[in-house]
Amino acid sequence: MKHLLTIAGSDSSGGAGIQADLKTFAAHGVFGMSVITAVTAQNTCGVTLVQDMTPDMITAQIDAVFSDIRVDGVKVGMVSRSASIRAIAEGLKKWKPPVVVIDPVMISKSGYPLLQPAACDTLIRELLPLATLLTPNLPEAEAICGFSIKTEGDMEKAATAILSMGAKAVLVKGGHLEGRKADDFLSDGKEGIWLSGERIKTEHTHGTGCTLSSALASNLAKGMSLLDSVQSGKKYVTTAIAHGIALGKGHGPTHHFVDLYKKAGIFEE
């Protein structure tokens, strides 16, 4: 069994962050571990408060896991401060995991800022070059690249810019594009591939970015190629969105275990 580590924030409502990552790991048949970078008070309606872990605590968690357990892949999610980013970057350089998928979480689904503006440059400088794969949505890609992304051509331009910053591969997610399509652009600098995406009409999309990046980390750690990992991950998250759970008063979470529940005969539509 592969062992996957998520380095991210905790979501008290269970739909995103560490909780979504661990559910996704379990659904992919890998053993999940966690380093918590921040504790958020949030529910399906939004985030009300964020408490960051100290850099020393982040470092201690990373060292505790790596010094005892083989880590086959890492997913990095919410990191709100420059000091936290530097602690994570130092830990990854020290322990050198074979797979690092970075989801540059900047704003919550409800619009709450999760990455301090001053920390964006630190993320670009310290963490981005360590990425086996970076998975920004369009607002995140705009913040990283410094220009507006409104078309598919802009997405290709953004991918080139991000790769020039040091990431080995990038998946620019097109869900924020206007129109019926929600296609993504995958590039490793050698080849760029457009992957079609189905736009599903639902409000229950809380944690989709966390879920996708964790699925990609799982697939890559299990030895799948980059393209196969992304295609499989997109299929998984599309199914999870299509069966999103009507939980709470706002944006409900995706369903991480649809296929497993169906096989067990306990799935309810």
254 classed as catalytic: no
Contact 33, 6 (CB under 8 A): yes
Q: 176 pLDDT band (50/70/90 cuts)? A: low
Contacts of 169 (CB under 8 A, 6+ apart): 131, 132, 133, 134, 163, 186, 187, 188, 189, 226
φ/ψ of residue 192, rounded to 5:
-115, 130
3-state SS class at 49:
strand
Residues in the chain: 269
Of 80-84, 98-102, 177-181, which range is least confident? 177-181
Domain extents for the chain? 3-256
**Cβ neighbours of residue 217 closer than 8 Å, sequence gap 6 or more:** 4, 73, 74, 75, 99, 101
Is residue 211 a contact partner of residue 237, using CB atoms and an 8 Å limit? yes
Catalytic, out of 15, 73, 91, 209: 209
- Of the residues 132, 135, 205, 254, only one is catalytic, namely 205
Active-site residue, selected from the candidate residues 2, 37, 75, 210: 210
Beta-carbon contacts of residue 27 (< 8 Å; ≥ 6 apart): 215, 236, 256, 257, 259, 260
| Span 221-267, pLDDT tens digits | 999 999 999 999 999 999 999 998 999 999 999 999 999 898 888 87
Is residue 9 within 8 A of residue 40, CB to CB? The reply is yes
219 sits in the region (left: phi over 0; alpha: psi -120 to 50; else beta) called: alpha
Given 208, 211, 238, 254, the catalytic residue = 208
User: Are 236 and 3 contacting, i.e. CB atoms less than 8 angstroms apart?
Assistant: no
> What's residue 110's pLDDT?
58
pTM check: above 0.85: yes
40-79 per-position pLDDT tens digit: 999 999 899 999 999 999 999 999 999 999 999 999 999 9
Note the pLDDT tens digit of each residue in 116-128. 778 889 999 999 9
SS3 26: helix
CATH superfamily of 3-256: Ribokinase (3.40.1190.20)
Active site (annotated) includes residue 111? no
Q: What is the pLDDT averaged over residues 10-36?
A: 97
On whether the CB atoms of residues 223 and 239 are closer than 8 A, the answer is no
Looking only at the bridges linking them, the beta strands covering 170-172 and 184-187 are antiparallel
Q: Is 207 a catalytic residue?
A: yes
Strands 133-134 and 100-102: parallel
Mean pLDDT (the chain) is 93
Q: Active site includes 40?
A: no
Q: For position 267, what pLDDT does the model report? A: 77
CA dist., res. 159 & res. 173, Å (int): 10
Q: Is pLDDT of 174 > 80?
A: yes
Out of 73, 207, 233, 244, the active site residue is: 207
What was the pLDDT predicted at 57?
A: 98
